[in-house]
Amino acid sequence: MGETVTPNHTMATEFILLGLSSNPQTQLILFVVFLPIYLLTLAGNILIIITVVHDRRLHTPMYFFLSNLSFIDVCHASVTVPKMLFDFLVTVKIITFGGCVVQMFFLHLFTCTEIFLLTIMAYDRYVAICNPMHYLTIMNHKVCLLLTGAVWLGGTVHSIALTGMTINLPYCGSREIDNFFCDVPPVIRLACTDTYIIEALIIANSGLISVICFVVLVGSYGVILVSLRNRFSERRHKALSTCVAHLTVVTLFLGHCIFTYSRPSISFPEDKVVSVFFTAITPLLNPIIYSLRNEDMKRALSKLLGRKVDAEEK
């Protein structure tokens, strides 16, 4: 295994990913399972982006944020899944130290950005449902751009902070990462120094962001649901459907973040299962949830694909 000796400590030049399995037959099966999932993730999310851009009726704040979410999901899945698929076909799963750092940086960039974006989407739904008369004034184009820029800036600052702390640790001894990708908790377990302070900072940073955003999201949707009690049944059903879709995404996505980053860096048997669901499955579920539960999106998709949707468009 590669390593570089410095005056202070031994610097790792590469790591070995233990992956999901060491059995060749199992790995081949996993490759056959996850390759279509990844391709569907790319196709579904890219189709949403194209549909929103193509259909002028979807040029609203809600679908602007949704297209951003789809873009993030494409990037998020592409950080880890291609490497995982490649490793299913090889015996020794090696990743360089630089590659590991890059993977950690972009993983946390897209994860944190998505958390912030989901929070903004909840605020957007709150304004649309609870203050519909002033919705387009409050959520105008400039505000949407500023909020999106703030979301990406926040994700970048968060990722730089976590990755910077991880890079500066000395690594010696074992180079085996007990996962199929590089993430801060499994990597810092390999450090040959006390990581108590860094683990506390991770919990205070990633864990706290996840918990606070989850509480804010659930609280905002709670207020929305209460406000829907006196609405007409048709509008209430449409708004309720949207909220349920958003809450499903939030629960699936933030559930992993809270489970992973709100506890000390201790390995659990469930970690890999949760990580697979987080990196490979959730980005696929987003287009399914938002497309199949949204009539406007289904009509726009049908129009884009050249199908007749209803008598009004004939």
Interval 276-313: pLDDT, tens: 888 888 888 888 887 766 777 878 888 877 754 444 44
Tokens of 249: 């995404």
Tokens of 4: 């570089």
- 277/237 Cα distance (integer angstroms): 29
**Cβ pair 27, 19 in contact under 8 A:** yes
Mean pLDDT of 134-158: 93
- 251/152 Cα distance (integer angstroms): 21
Mean pLDDT of 100-127: 91
* DSSP state letter for 207: I
pLDDT at 311: 40
Chain-centre distance of CA 279, in angstroms?
A: 7
| Residue 80 confidence (pLDDT) above 90 | yes
Which residues, 6 or more positions from 129, have their beta carbon under 8 angstroms from its beta carbon?
224, 227, 228, 239
| Least confident stretch, 90-94, 153-157, 250-254 | 250-254
**Cβ pair 282, 33 in contact under 8 A:** no
Tell me the one-letter amino acid at 247: L
Mean pLDDT of the chain: 82
Nearest to 127 by CA among 137, 117, 116, 141: 137
Nearest to 183 by CA among 99, 107, 267: 107
| Residue 19 confidence (pLDDT) above 90 | no
pLDDT at 56: 85
Kindly state the percentage of the chain with pLDDT values over 90: 32
| Least confident stretch, 61-65, 94-98, 221-225 | 221-225
| Least confident stretch, 161-165, 174-178, 224-228, 289-293 | 289-293
Which residues on adjacent β-strands are paired with residue 177?
17
Q: What is the pLDDT of residues 194-220, one digit of tens each?
A: 878 888 887 777 777 888 888 888 888
Domains of the chain by range and CATH?
3-307 (1.20.1070.10)
| Residue 4 confidence (pLDDT) above 50 | no
Tokens of 20: 């999901």
Give the residue carrying structure tokens 């189709």.
47
Mean pLDDT of 31-36: 95
- 215/34 Cα distance (integer angstroms): 32
Give the residue carrying structure tokens 């129009």.
303
What is the value of pTM for the model shown? 0.85
- 157/163 Cα distance (integer angstroms): 10
| Residue 237 confidence (pLDDT) above 50 | yes
- 128/270 Cα distance (integer angstroms): 39
Kindly state the percentage of the chain with pLDDT values over 70: 86
pLDDT at 29: 94
* DSSP state letter for 14: E
Q: How many Cβ atoms are within 10 Å of 34's Cβ, its own excluded?
A: 19
Q: How many Cβ atoms are within 10 Å of 106's Cβ, its own excluded?
A: 17
Return the top range by mean pLDDT from 122-136, 137-151, 182-196: 137-151
pLDDT at 148: 95
pLDDT at 310: 47
Q: How confident is the model at residue 108 (pLDDT cuts 50, 70, 90)?
A: very high
| Residue 8 confidence (pLDDT) above 50 | no
Residue 203's SS3 state is helix
Which residues, 6 or more positions from 291, have their beta carbon under 8 angstroms from its beta carbon?
44, 48, 297, 298, 301
Which residues, 6 or more positions from 24, have their beta carbon under 8 angstroms from its beta carbon?
91
Tokens of 66: 């949704």
pLDDT at 314: 46
Mean pLDDT of 35-57: 91
Chain-centre distance of CA 214, in angstroms?
A: 14
